[in-house]
Structure 1
Amino acid sequence: MPGRWTPPVKVAPETYKMGAAVVVHMTRRSVLFSPGDQPSLMRKAPTTGADVVVFDLEDAVAPARKGDARRAVSDLLTAADFDPDCEVCVRVNPVGSGAGDDVDAVLSGGGFDSVVVPKVTDADDVATVDSLLAEHDATSPVLALVESAAGVLNAHEIAAAGPTDALVFGAEDLSADIGATRTDEGTEVLYARERVVLAASAAGVDAIDTVHTAIEDPSAVAADARFAADLGFDGKLAIHPAQVDPINDAYTPTEADTAWATRVLDAAADSDAGVFRVDGEMIDAPLIAQAERIMRRARAADN
């Protein structure tokens, strides 16, 4: 991932897309939101073990406190010395509802790595934020939050937009948008979850799963994160530091997983055949790809 934005340097968008390649970008197992109007919580967020911290100017901040939050985030970005292994992100307000003011504020501060754009309905929303950044001679990877019927149905074009570096799924807002009732099983949003993964995978960007609202039930968070990982998500949103470790664990391969993947990849390197045997199991291209994915996650977790 490229270094945090520092005025007045302009970095070409394709540089960020290159930075999103599997080998070089930071992992995004856990993406922790921190309210933008609470400086003490924001200062602590990068110490929680989260791969990404998001200083939130949107839902976590009451309308009357937006100005205070913008100043607090700008001040923190200017003064803080963040761990380089932690991706620092800002969630702006939706396009047409404060995103421009947010961009003006955060770019008056110091460095950040990426921007979360909420309530993205189509690729134009991503392009608009990219244009707002360009007005400051800046560019940034965009984590596009799809949380409406329109956003989910347009997920492919949103994921394929040049600045998009990740698709983020928001189940709570989607449920409100379509009138669904949230359940523990989550069947009401399963199709949308899967569609986001497919769109992200087709575009070669990360897929980040929705929040789990239980903040005092780490086992439930862990189970939901494991299910999301099984669906193909690269990481999961967190709304409390207690959720970070269960999420990270769910996206970190076990020793048995990495041992299996190592045997498969070693055997693949030694074999000229399209299909070969490892531990009594027939291995072909899809299982080799699975082994490579496990090793990428293992390497990312070690960084």
Structure 2
Amino acid sequence: MTQATHPAEALFKGDKPFPVLSACEHFAGSEKLILKAMDLQKELGAIFDITCDCEDGAAAGNERPHAELVARLINSERNAFNKAGVRIHDPTHPSWKQDVDVVVGQAAARLAYVTIPKSTSTSQVEEVIAHVQRTARAAGSDRAIPIHVLIETHGALEAAFRLAALPHVEVLDFGQMDFVSGHHGAIPAAAMRSPAQFDHALLVRAKSQMVAAALSHGVVPAHNVCLNLKDDQVVHADAFRARTQFGFLRMWSIHPAQIRPIVDAMKPSFDEVQDAGEILCAAQDAQWGPIQYKGELHDRATYRYFWSVLERAQATGIELPPKPAARFFAA
């Protein structure tokens, strides 16, 4: 091992790479809203992904034209960062294969991911994943399409660990509204928003179980939406609690005004980024052996943590200190 060995190589050689994704996933269903989101990406930078919604975005009977619209927009110049994915219809809906055939078939080269909603079993998701990858190969794509799986049914929660272990899965999303509705009134409507969404025992269990399943298999856990569309403080508080109390690394947005508060809440602190940069540069100088920093011992175990801090900082748009930026993130 040489002094210049990169952290990703020195610390994770042979491991499954953990996905480094934007901290916010913004949902948009109509042409107007998708284009508005793409323009906002150009303004703010690639700090959020866009999920083009074929499930709730398409009116009944208009499924194919809507899927064709999504494919065109993903292939368009407005998709400047290739950070737009699609949510297809659920595996029991007659249009899910058509969604895949159209969007993946026409936009596989630029499609960021496919989100699968309302699954109730591992076998359902396996079938969809297989069709997505076959369609991508038939379209001439040489890349596997990343898969996001919504955990919003009893069956999906029970299967969360198995779902996270499936090939090509990079995100588990918690679908709180459908999950609450599926409890037939046992969870009150108040638990669709804070503070009950973080306090009700059944939701604490569900969120904790899903996050544990995701992280144990190198998959990113994503938190549900905040129903308050425009109050920055409420949105920020929900995202911050999801991140710090439950370990979510990503959160949905359903209004452009929610994007910045979510990203800000998911960012590591300035002091932690500074420490991470200093520790990792010193570790690289020591050829990744143990070091002392501010009177504390650090080795590969803590190096892994601090490398994740720098990766999250970059993904959320934090300006990194010059030395670690040059060493670890230079183009």
TM-score (norm 2): 0.75
Tell me if structure 2 keeps the 8 A contact 1:48–1:244.
no
Gaps of 5+ in 2: 1-13, 42-46, 138-143, 318-328
Supply the distance in 1 between the matched residues of 2:106 and 2:301 (Cα, whole angstroms): 46
**Partner residue in 1 for 2:274:** 259
Q: Confirm whether residue 211 of structure 1 aligns to residue 203 of structure 2.
A: no
Q: CA deviation at 1:115?
A: 0.2
Tell me if structure 2 keeps the 8 A contact 1:117–1:144.
yes
1:1-303 pair list within 5 angstroms: 21-22=17-18, 26-35=20-29, 38-49=30-41, 50-84=47-81, 86-97=82-93, 98-110=95-107, 111-138=110-137, 139-179=144-184, 180-181=187-188, 182-183=190-191, 184-185=194-195, 186=197, 187-188=199-200, 189-230=203-244, 231-266=246-281, 270=286, 278-279=293-294, 287-302=302-317
- The count of residues paired between Structure 1 and Structure 2 equals 278
Q: CA deviation at 1:109?
A: 2.9
Supply the distance in 2 between the matched residues of 1:286 and 1:209 (Cα, whole angstroms): 27
Partner of 1:144: helix, strand, or coil? strand
What do the CA deviations read for 1:231-252 (whole angstroms, capped 9, x no partner)? 2222101111111111111122
Supply the distance in 1 between the matched residues of 2:66 and 2:28 (Cα, whole angstroms): 11
Partner of 1:178: helix, strand, or coil? coil
Say if 1:137 and 1:267 are closer, same or farther in 2 by CA, change over 3 A: closer
Supply the distance in 2 between the matched residues of 1:107 and 1:284 (Cα, whole angstroms): 43
Q: CA deviation at 1:72?
A: 1.8
Gaps of 5+ in 1: 1-17
**26-35 or 137-146, larger mean C-alpha shift:** 137-146
Supply the distance in 2 between the matched residues of 1:113 and 1:235 (Cα, whole angstroms): 15
Supply the distance in 2 between the matched residues of 1:137 and 1:106 (Cα, whole angstroms): 10
What do the CA deviations read for 1:13-50 (whole angstroms, capped 9, x no partner)? xxxxx9x824xx55220100100xx2121112123245
Tell me if structure 1 keeps the 8 A contact 2:105–2:135.
no
Tell me if structure 2 keeps the 8 A contact 1:26–1:87.
no
Tell me if structure 1 keeps the 8 A contact 2:264–2:316.
no
Say if 1:61 and 1:290 are closer, same or farther in 2 by CA, change over 3 A: same
